[in-house]
Homo-oligomer: A and B are copies of this chain.
């Protein structure tokens, strides 16, 4: 995430300055706060993409802020990197319910800081991790995750159902013969009854169609086969 907005919270002005300088050199936009209250106000107003938080702060301390962020919908997904002074504090940080995405122990080198910021942003940037999605009508298929959503709701499909639906939904409107479907979903060496396809089509209809008596999407083309219809 190039040019991300980063909030740095520390009560030592020198640390804030140093972190700010290094992050800005690396191409990030930096805003700063020196205590917990100021930080919370800024988070609400500025919606930073990442927060670097000293664990020891006057007033509300870093871990409390971290925990507080997790309870609000708008702030829950903002990644946090904690600054810890002593090695002993790490276990505490890791051991408690860890809202933070990473930690850095002081003293640390600017290079390490920038590297970790980059890593956390890369990891949490959802847009960058594009996945292959097949969309047709009310159906969205996430191939990587092997998940199917119908009208935005996740539904379970058996392996054969999944493959069959994938094939149909990949080419909306195109008619597939039972033979073609058997060859491509079941395999060329399949020796079973062609009626098998019908049964699976029925299962798909039960999971996809609002009224499986009168299918809107998975249409029968009499004498030919089946197709996934896209509505006009």
Residues of A within 8 A of B (CB): 12, 14-15, 18-19, 21-22, 25, 67, 70-71, 73, 76-77, 79, 85, 93-103, 106-112, 115-116, 119-120, 123-124, 129-130, 132-133, 135, 140, 142, 144-147, 149, 151-154, 158-159, 173-175, 221-224, 227
CB <8 Å contact, B159 and A71: no
CB <8 Å contact, B149 and A132: no
CB <8 Å contact, B98 and A146: no
Report the minimal beta-carbon distance from A21 to chain B, rounded to whole angstroms.
7
Contacts of A93 in B (CB 8 A): 107
Closest 10 CB pairs of A and B: A159-B223, A115-B130, A146-B175, A119-B132, A145-B173, A100-B107, A98-B107, A77-B111, A146-B221, A102-B133
Compute how far the CA of A134 lies from the CA of B229 in the bound complex, rounded to whole angstroms: 21
Report the minimal beta-carbon distance from A19 to chain B, rounded to whole angstroms.
8
CB <8 Å contact, B95 and A224: no
Most buried by B among A94, A133, A227: A94
CB <8 Å contact, B103 and A154: no
